[in-house]
Amino acid sequence: MILPVLVLDAGNSFTHAAVFSGDAVIDIRSLPTRSLENSGEVRKLVDGILNDHPDLCHAAICSVVPSAGVLFHQVLGSVLPGSLIDISSSLKLPFSLDYNPPSSLGADRIAFCSYCAGYSSENPVIAIDIGTAITMDVLVPDEGYFGGLIMPGLDMMSAALHDRTARLPRVEVSGPVPLLGRSTEDCMESGIFWGGVKQVEGLLAEIRHVIIEKKGRQRVNVVATGGGSRIIIPALKEPILIDEQAVLKGGKVLLDLNVEEAG
């Protein structure tokens, strides 16, 4: 009998909770991370999941917000019959990790890389997470983690323009906009959106060049995730796979590797 398991992804903006049966996501719930400020709110979420899935067994917590991770660990540790793991570099990973220090690689990046490690056994993979920050991490088959980069996401760019100037407003970029605007708000949205698009596009080209030059690999796969991926990725010149559940799926990979008979 396959027992359901839970994977939690607590990000800077949103928290996602996915229930897996085998490799299939059978339930997913999302809410703003800021709403999970105390154990009562966390317990309400966990109780709701357990009510619908009373045979839930193991769980993995992928958190880049320490306070949320601690609360989930406290609540789940008191109710789960099975094992509970916190995703970190100390786990058994499906790829070799060369990062200094390994413990500083974020849980979300570890989970995403764990998912991408199984995406292609022949070609390098560039993993792009477009969220509060934009991260790119590269995995090379038979070698493991090759390197990565971090830059501000769309909301962070908007916040910086507003916070570091006297008169610029805060704007929200929710989709494609014209290249040239005719108001301050329009110009800001254009700069943030097209700046993000061209940064991602240009960096992908540079990373591919490095992989070809240093590793001799001509074919490179790209996988994108994160809430901003559905805004940025369609504007790129090349088609790129978007999997908004990639971090959750990577958490399930790590659960399977680190908990006997998980899922």
At 262, the pLDDT band (50, 70, 90 cuts) reads very low
Q: Which amino acid is at 106?
A: G
Span 24-29, average pLDDT? 96
At 260, the pLDDT band (50, 70, 90 cuts) reads low
Q: Which residue pairs, CB below 8 angstroms and at least 24 apart, start in 167-174? A: 173/231, 174/231
CATH topology of domain 5-86: Nucleotidyltransferase; domain 5 (3.30.420)
Query: Mean of the per-residue pLDDT values for the chain?
Result: 94
DSSP β-ladder status, 221-225 and 241-242: parallel
H, E, C per residue of the chain: CCCCEEEEEECCCEEEEEEEECCEEEEEEEEEHHHCCCHHHHHHHHHHHHHHCCCCCCEEEEECCHHHHHHHHHHHHHHCCCCEEECCCCCCCCCCCCCCCHHHCCHHHHHHHHHHHCCCCCCCEEEEEECCEEEEEEEECCCEEEEEEEEECHHHHHHHHHHCCCCCCCCCCCCCCCCCCCCHHHHHHHHHHHHHHHHHHHHHHHHHHHHHHHHCCCCCEEEEECCCHHHHHHHCCCCCEECCCHHHHHHHHHHHHHCCCCC
Q: Give the model confidence (pLDDT) of 213-253 as tens digits.
A: 988 877 999 999 999 999 999 999 989 999 999 999 999 99
**Ranges for all domains in the chain classified under CATH 3.30.420.40:** 5-86, 120-248
Whole-structure pTM value? 0.94
CA 251 – CA 222 distance, rounded (Å): 19
Q: Which of 147, 134, 250, 119 shows the shortest CA–CA distance to 201? A: 134
Active-site positions read 108
At 94, the pLDDT band (50, 70, 90 cuts) reads very high
* Res 11: pLDDT: 93
Q: Look up the CATH number of domain 120-248.
A: 3.30.420.40
Residues 6+ apart with CB under 8 A from 143: 96, 215
